Amino acid sequence: MLVGREGTRRVVTAVSRPAEQAGLRVGMPLTKAHALLPDILTLPADPAADAAALERLSLWALQHYAPIVAPDPPDGLVIDTTGADHLHGGEALMLSGLVNRLGASGIIARAAVADTWGAAFAAARFLADPVRVIPPGSAVESVSPLPIHGLRIPPEIVAGLHVLGFSTIGDLLAVPRAPLVLRFGPLLGRRLDQLEGIVREPVDPLRDPERIVARKGFGEPIGAPETIARYTTALVHDLCLALEKRGLGARRLDLIFHRVDNSLQAIRIGTARPVRDEKRLARLLCDRIETIEPGFGIEVMELSATLAEPLVLQQAATSLIEEAPADIAGLVDVIANRIGAARLYRIAPVESDVPERSFQRVAPLAPDAGATWQGQWPRPARLLARPEPIEVMALLPDHPPASFTWRGVRRLVKRADGPERVFGEWWKRDGERAAVRDYFQVEDAVGERFWLFRSGDEVQAAGGLGRWFLHGIFA
């Protein structure tokens, strides 16, 4: 339990989960809390340290997630995901990744995405479990049944509204705005408008004082894509000069557009290795200009290197020795920024006899260990995501099937090879202590080849019992 001061009273400002179950609430006087739980551990609240920690967390989110991030005291972060969610595989994946990473460092977080800051605020606190994506256009319906605490209004107004019988946001949206504003002040009306998206609410982005920034203001707002591209190139040039002075290369660049109507638009790009090549960076940024909505025009463009790392220049080998392999880092960056870095990968072998565990995805520019799969047994070109059960006719227990039926088609087996026995990984998983698969490669009458296996434990395998599955298709 944390205790803070409110005027002359000492009140509870935060409680742990067990204490909450015991009936303690935030805002309760300290004496009452002590009466409920006499031996509770109380610590003084330190709002300044909390704010500093929140700012550190915002900086981390800025470097890893999106270009526009701001702390939302006392306990929130607001992130404008525009132009950045595709790098994390979409909004839902981005949110769950964020919550999981925070959870790993001991922070229990809830997150939501919605059209407006107000809707996302309410959804994150009352709907998210632990994440929630509210589809565009349905923000108001989704948050209507939520309590009015989700409106970012001071507790006195909440109490006053309760007295009048309002309990949900939907109740407030249904009544005329003017009498409410007359009674509770303009803040309530503004919050409701912001929630609905009638009034814009710009996020004042957090800035890292150490990061390298290039900025350009325009006397006359710009809007044409060609103009944006031209100034982007100019900004990249300035930024690269600044990076060169410090011997750095950019890993993550944010281009923020300040629009005339006081809202922000952003582009974020990431690179697999530190880059200081003007052409490449400009190309990556210009690729994404189409996602920018200039509205009535753009006043200021701001390019910053959110993440920069020391750039080690390598001497190119002379062509006298041998032709160096072409550098594909540029291509990797272009594709990763278009469709997301997780969708671009290499496949590396893993020491495992179980086919579906014999490979893993690695980063596209991971050093090549030169390893490949061991063994001479042929492997199918297509591996089904999960083995599909088939019906078979087998003549002898230890023989391949004489015919099998897969997806409603019966096929006669003309030729077969096998069995190749694969044991379960009992040294890793207890459940596979007795698991055995016998793989057969079979060819049917027209020459199509399939990879079948019989699954069971060793006793079943010896007796030819066990169920049959189709796992892959050869050519």
Residues that bind another protein (CB under 8 A): 325-328, 330-332, 334-335, 338-339, 343-349, 355, 358-359, 364, 368-373, 378-385, 414-417, 441-443, 445-449, 472-475
CB of 81 to another protein, least distance (A): 18
Yes or no: say if 28 and 42 are a contact pair by the CB < 8 Å rule: no
Q: What angle do CA 452, 381, 356 make, to 5 degrees?
A: 65
The tokens of 318 are what? 């002379």
* CB of 117 or CB of 450, closer to another protein: 450
Strand pairing partners for 79? 69
* CB of 18 or CB of 397, closer to another protein: 397
CB of 441 to another protein, least distance (A): 6
Q: Which residues contact 244 (CB under 8 A, 6 or more apart)?
A: 276
Closest by CA to 220, choosing from 138, 312, 328, 294, is 294
Closest by CA to 269, choosing from 87, 97, 63, is 87
CB of 316 to another protein, least distance (A): 14
Residue with tokens 């303009």: 186
* CB of 289 or CB of 334, closer to another protein: 334
Q: Please report, in angstroms and rounded to a whole number, the separation of the first and last CA atoms in the chain.
A: 66
CB of 93 to another protein, least distance (A): 12
Q: Which residues contact 348 (CB under 8 A, 6 or more apart)?
A: 359, 360, 361, 362, 366, 369, 371
CB of 331 to another protein, least distance (A): 4
Q: CB count, 10 Å around CB of 326?
A: 7
* CB of 339 or CB of 393, closer to another protein: 339
* CB of 48 or CB of 326, closer to another protein: 326
CB of 368 to another protein, least distance (A): 3
Between CA 207 and CA 248 the distance in angstroms is 19
* CB of 75 or CB of 398, closer to another protein: 398
* CB of 214 or CB of 284, closer to another protein: 284
CB of 239 to another protein, least distance (A): 24
* CB of 343 or CB of 433, closer to another protein: 343
CB of 467 to another protein, least distance (A): 22
CB of 370 to another protein, least distance (A): 6
DSSP string covering 239-260:
HHHHHHHHTEEEEEEEEEEEET
AA identity, residue 169: I
Q: Give φ, ψ of 106 to 5 degrees.
A: 90, 15
DSSP 290: G
CB of 329 to another protein, least distance (A): 10
CB of 280 to another protein, least distance (A): 12
42 burial via Cβ count (<10 Å: 0-12, 13-18, 19+): middle
* CB of 108 or CB of 475, closer to another protein: 475
Strand duo 401-406 + 391-394: pairing: antiparallel
Strand pairing partners for 78? 70
* CB of 448 or CB of 458, closer to another protein: 448
CB of 428 to another protein, least distance (A): 20
* CB of 60 or CB of 474, closer to another protein: 474
Helix (H) or strand (E) holding 140: helix 139-143
* CB of 338 or CB of 421, closer to another protein: 338
How distant is the alpha carbon of residue 298 from its chain centre? 29
Half-sphere exposure of 99 (CA within 13 A, CB side): 17
Q: Which residues contact 390 (CB under 8 A, 6 or more apart)?
A: 404, 405, 406, 452, 468, 469, 470
Strand pairing partners for 69? 79
